[in-house]
A = this chain, B = another copy of it.
């Protein structure tokens, strides 16, 4: 679909952008545990989803500088949410791993956001929800392009 120039399509794009940004902001504010900063949560999510990683990789992923990531990892280590171990293959590197506690917190966080969204969705009509359900796979693919 390499066009998207029709008046109608452009209007859809604008509507979609507005809805996504507003919903995204509201979901972001649904914090499960306010003792963790937004970046700390994001780092944990990366580790839980993608498995162990080095501090440099995590810094790149968060668009942060290595020293800032060091500080984040120190705090997460103190809270027993990650482990830092030396890489046996390369003595310069460290390997960061999420603990079971971190996984549980992430799961709970997702659950809470789902509950918030489900409560909103409960206010929609059958037809509206059916349209969203039909579009969900396409939205997921759009997000990962």
Q: What is A's interface to B at a CB cutoff of 8 Å?
A: 1-4, 8-10, 12-29, 63, 110, 113-114, 117-118, 120-129, 131-145
Contacts and interface: CB of A to CB of B under 8 A. Distances in A.
Given A15-B139, A15-B140, A117-B16, A25 B22 contact: no
24 contacts: A1-B121, A1-B122, A2-B122, A4-B118, A4-B121, A9-B133, A13-B114, A14-B110, A15-B139, A16-B136, A17-B113, A17-B114, A17-B117, A19-B140, A19-B143, A20-B20, A21-B24, A24-B28, A124-B141, A128-B137, A131-B134, A132-B138, A132-B142, A134-B134
Contact of A124 (B22, B136, B138): B138
**Chain A interface mostly helix, strand, loop or mixed?**
helix
Nearest to A15: B136
Contacts of A22: 143-144
Contacts of A16: 117, 132, 136, 139
A123 to B, nearest CB: 5
A20 B17 contact: no
Given A12-B133, A23-B142, A127-B138, 18 more contacts: A1-B121, A1-B125, A9-B118, A12-B132, A12-B136, A13-B121, A15-B139, A15-B140, A18-B143, A20-B27, A24-B27, A29-B63, A123-B145, A124-B145, A131-B134, A131-B137, A132-B135, A135-B139
